[in-house]
Amino acid sequence: MWVRLDLGRALAEAGSEQAVGVLEGAASAARERGAGTVQELAEQALRALGVRTWRRGPTGAPLTARESEVARLAASGATNREIAQTLFLSPKTVERHVSNALKKLGARNRTELASHVRDLDAEDAGNAR
């Protein structure tokens, strides 16, 4: 895995189009084997090449506590930058949480997200009784 990572980095430095494929292969192999350091380094190199390395969670999966918190703030009308300042996160992290919440709740935009959040809050209130 380390050799593949080094090869990918060298190809990227040389401007080769093969770099992305080699680095994606290194990240995938590292993920499968639980080699977090190699995976992170490969993903870091991919991001430097402009490749998105995170994936949205599956539709219908429950929101994490942080995704729920971010979704509620987004539903209240806060911008990503405002949410980031409130929660002491980077705007990019907030963007990822909003994107995950949209996917998991099956919403296409922040307006639909707000509707889903209200529905979830109503369900939670009903379950608390």
- Is residue 22 within 8 A of residue 7, CB to CB? The reply is yes
Fold of the CATH domain 65-128: Arc Repressor Mutant, subunit A (1.10.10)
Q: Delimit the domains of the chain by residue range.
A: 2-48, 65-128
- pLDDT at position 56, please? 53
- Is residue 72 within 8 A of residue 86, CB to CB? The reply is no
Q: Quote the pTM value.
A: 0.54
Summarize pLDDT for 36-73 with one digit per residue, the tens: 898 889 989 998 988 877 665 556 778 899 999 999 99
Structure tokens at 11: 């190809």
- Is residue 27 within 8 A of residue 49, CB to CB? The reply is no
Summarize pLDDT for 75-84 with one digit per residue, the tens: 999 999 999 9
Which residues are within 8 A (CB) of 87 and not within 5 positions of it... i.e. 6 or more apart? 66, 69, 70, 73, 94
- Is residue 4 within 8 A of residue 29, CB to CB? The reply is yes
